[in-house]
A and B are shown apart, each in its own frame.
Chain A
Amino acid sequence: GAGVSQTPSNKVTEKGKYVELRCDPISGHTALYWYRQSLGQGPEFLIYFQGTGAADDSGLPNDRFFAVRPEGSVSTLKIQRTERGDSAVYLCASSLTGGLNTGELFFGEGSRLTVL
């Protein structure tokens, strides 16, 4: 596709359930990022992939959160044992390379997660 695609657009789940959020970046972009945007806040960095590997996962809040990018393209953010505090919009972005000095970040429209 022409842009970054995220699915699902909206996800409602119950506390304790497992959730997967998918990101399909722009073709050819080696760098992929996940950010979390809580209500009334700016996005916060979660994880950065360069190719297939997580170059920086320091923003993942705890071990219930995990992300993969097995073939260096599509990425999945996985949240186990969801809690109400996980409710947020999860934004994915991609860029041609990993440094913002060489290129722009392109964002998807996000996945809104609501944990009841």
Chain B
Amino acid sequence: AQTVTQSQPEMSVQEAETVTLSCTYDTSESDYYLFWYKQPPSRQMILVIRQEAYKQQNATENRFSVNFQKAAKSFSLKISDSQLGDAAMYFCAYNKRDYKLSFGAGTTVTVRA
């Protein structure tokens, strides 16, 4: 079974600053997907960014970027120029190219004005 570990229960960042969220995972697969999801108080999970394991280039979506280290099984999320609307719970998730997502326990991000 795949396990996803997020070691930071909470992170705080000043508005306009940068914050990095950590994620490690365990798998014996060589080809898989990794995701970061945002869950605001509305509870709806929103896809932030996705990385395909066979692509060496780190994914980027506007202010969000990842540092994917395949050998280390590490997948961190960097939020640049943090905004108040970024405050939410963030989940790292793993998918072995099928239909099932395995999620970490999440990191709560607070943004200070």
In the complex, identify which listed stretch (B39-47, B56-64, B70-78, B79-87) lies at the interface while the others stay far away. B39-47
Question: How far, in angstroms, from A25 to B60 measured CA to CA in the complex?
Answer: 29
Interchain CB contact under 8 A, B97 and A99 = yes
Interchain CB contact under 8 A, B33 and A101 = yes
- Chain A, interface size category, equals 20 to 34
Chain B: interface residue total (CB-CB under 8 A): 22
Interchain CB contact under 8 A, B43 and A109 = yes
Interface flags for B11-25 (1: CB within 8 Å of A; 0: not) read 000000000000000
Nearest residue (CB) in A for B103 is A42
Given A42-B91, A55-B99, A95-B99, 18 more A-B residue pairs with CB atoms under 8 Å apart are A40-B105, A40-B106, A43-B45, A43-B101, A44-B103, A48-B100, A56-B99, A56-B100, A91-B45, A99-B98, A100-B33, A100-B99, A100-B101, A105-B47, A107-B44, A108-B44, A109-B43, A112-B43
Q: Quick one: given A98-B99, A100-B98, A100-B99, are A41 and B106 in contact (CB under 8 Å)?
A: yes
- Nearest CB of chain A from residue B70's CB, rounded to whole Å: 17
Which residues on A sit within 8 Å (CB–CB) of B106?
Answer: 40-42
Which residues on B sit within 8 Å (CB–CB) of A41?
Answer: 105-106
Interface flags for A40-63 (1: CB within 8 Å of B; 0: not) read 111111001000000110000000
Question: How far, in angstroms, from A110 to B44 measured CA to CA in the complex?
Answer: 7
Which residues on A sit within 8 Å (CB–CB) of B104?
Answer: 42
Interchain CB contact under 8 A, B99 and A48 = yes
Q: Quick one: given A99-B97, A100-B98, are A89 and B105 in contact (CB under 8 Å)?
A: no
Nearest residue (CB) in A for B52 is A101
A31 at the A/B interface (Cβ < 8 Å)?
A: yes
Nearest residue (CB) in A for B95 is A100
A104 at the A/B interface (Cβ < 8 Å)?
A: yes
